[in-house]
Structure formats: structure tokens, C-alpha cells
Amino acid sequence: MESRIALHLALPGAGSSVCYEAVNTATVSLREATREDVGLIRQLIFELAEYERDPAAALATEEGLLRDGFSETPVFRVVVAECDARPAGFALYFFNYSTWQGRRGLYLEDLFVCPSFRGRGIGTALIRHLARIALDAGCGRLVWQVLDWNEPSIRFYESRGARVVEEWLTMRVDGEQLRRLAE
């Protein structure tokens, strides 16, 4: 099983625009996902799972995404990235709470840019937009994980101010072990 590395991003001040001019003069626009995007979100999750070498683990269904992300009290939110009006990537996030900081945080569950759109500033636009959302929501930090073998992503995140938090390890209980633990 691959391990993930936790990253923190210092939250810089940012402007208010949700459109960023990307490299190669492509226009990158970001928007909050709607119920109509659930099929697209599911497809992007599957593409991310393929990139992360574990497509069988992507069990999310459109029904589950609809229920959990687009109900009266959504558990997560999604930003869809478009490049020249074509879907190019997404970021799925939710708010958590830091007992040490005594304030909310933003947890980035997934950030994915389709391979054919990489190198156009889309990942930068997404991470900047999430930093802005975090600041606007009064969050003290933005946190996510990255697979330890994913050197291009680690370099990308570090170049934008993130740091690897090596002293923290991810712990997980799922499936049958979760059921046993609950007994």
C-alpha cells in the first residue's frame, strides 16, 4: 500500500477574482460544482484513482456524491476547473477543526488536473482559490495529503509554499476492521 504525506500551506493574502490567466494564454475559470456536475465529478475521481495507481479503490457513486455533496447540509464541496470552457480538473474539500488553533481548517481531499491540461496554471489556480476560500471562512490552515511517490506533485505544492509534515502519519481503519473496532 502506498503512503501519503501530509502537507500544510501557509495561507497568503489573495485577490478576489475567480478567473486566472494561465500559462500559454489559456483562460482558466473556476466555479462551484452543481448537482448537474455529479457525473463529471465521478469521472474525475476515477481518473485520479487511475493516476494514483488504484482504480479499484474508487467506489464513489453518483448517488453518494449527490447525497453527500449536494444536500441541504453538504459534507463536502467541489470546485470545477475549466480551461477554455472545457472541464480540466477539480478540487474536493471540506472544513475541519483544529483544536490547537481553536479555529476551522480547510481539508483538501482531492485535487486533480487532467493530464492533457497540465502545465497551464490550472493546479495553481485551484490551490490559490482554495487558499482564498480558507481565508474567507476564517480558517487557520489548508491541509491535504499527497502520495509519497508523487514527486511532481510534492515539488508543485512545495513551490507554492506548502511543507511536508514528516512527523505526522496517517492512520486509517476501514471495512471489517472498522466494524470490529465499533463492537
Q: Is 157 a catalytic residue?
A: yes
By C-alpha distance, which of 10, 64, 57, 48 is closest to 146?
A: 48
Query: Of the residues 20, 93, 107, 157, which is catalytic?
Result: 157
Helices 38-51, 62-69: crossing angle, 10 deg rounding: 110
Residue 117 to residue 119: CA distance in whole angstroms: 7
Residue with cell 459534507: 75
Residue with cell 505526522: 168
Asked if 92 contacts 70 with a C-beta cutoff of 8 angstroms, the reply is: no
Point out the residues that are catalytic. 157
